[in-house]
Amino acid sequence: MTAIDSRITGAGLTVTVATLAAVFAEHFRGLPAAMVCPGCGHRFNDTDVTGDCPTQAVVRPLLLRRHHENPAVTERLSAEAFANLRLIKPRPLRANQSARPASTPDDLFDVTAYRRTGGTR
C-alpha cells in the first residue's frame, strides 16, 4: 500500500486549504483516468477508473469540506480536477460491515435512509 503524502500527515489539523489543493492537484488521475497515481505511484486495478489513491481518499473530503475558506486556491485547479473534487466517491465496506437489504416485508416504508451503517447495536 502506498503511504499518505507527508504534507498531510505532518501538518495534521493545521493543514491549510492551499496545501490540500496542491496535494489534490498532484494526485488527480486526470481524464481519462491514469492507472498509476501521478503523485505517489499508487497502482490501480485494471478495472478501477474512478477510485482514489490513499492520499486522495484523505484529501478529497477535507478539501471539499474546506474549499470555501480560500476560494482563490481552489479556483487554480483545472476545470476537470474541480469537477472531480465534487464527485462523491463511494466508500468501500469494511470487513465488519455487510450490505443490508433495502427493506423487509414487515416495514411500512423504505427505511434504508434511516439505517445505521456499521455494526449492530
- The share of the chain scoring above pLDDT 70, in percent, equals 79
Find how far residue 61's CA is from the centre of its chain. 6
Which residues are bridge partners to 43 per DSSP?
36
Residue 6 clears pLDDT 60, i.e. is over it = yes
Per-residue confidence (pLDDT) for residue 103, from 0 to 100: 54
Residue 15 clears pLDDT 80, i.e. is over it = yes
Q: What angle separates helix 54-66 from helix 17-27, to the nearest 10 degrees?
A: 140
Per-residue confidence (pLDDT) for residue 99, from 0 to 100: 57
Tens of pLDDT, residues 68-110? 999 999 888 999 998 888 887 666 656 555 555 555 666 677 7
Question: Which helix (H) or strand (E) covers residue 59, if one does?
Answer: helix 54-66
pTM of the model: 0.68
* Lowest-confidence pick of 17-26, 41-50, 94-103, 104-113: 94-103
And the C-alpha cell for 1?
A: 500500500
Q: Mean of the pLDDT values across residues 34-57?
A: 91
d(C-alpha 78, C-alpha 64), whole Å: 15
CA dihedral angle for residue 14, residue 17, residue 20, residue 25, rounded to 10 degrees: -160
Bond preceding residue 32 cis, omega within 30 of 0: yes
For the chain, which residues make up each domain, given as ranges?
6-85
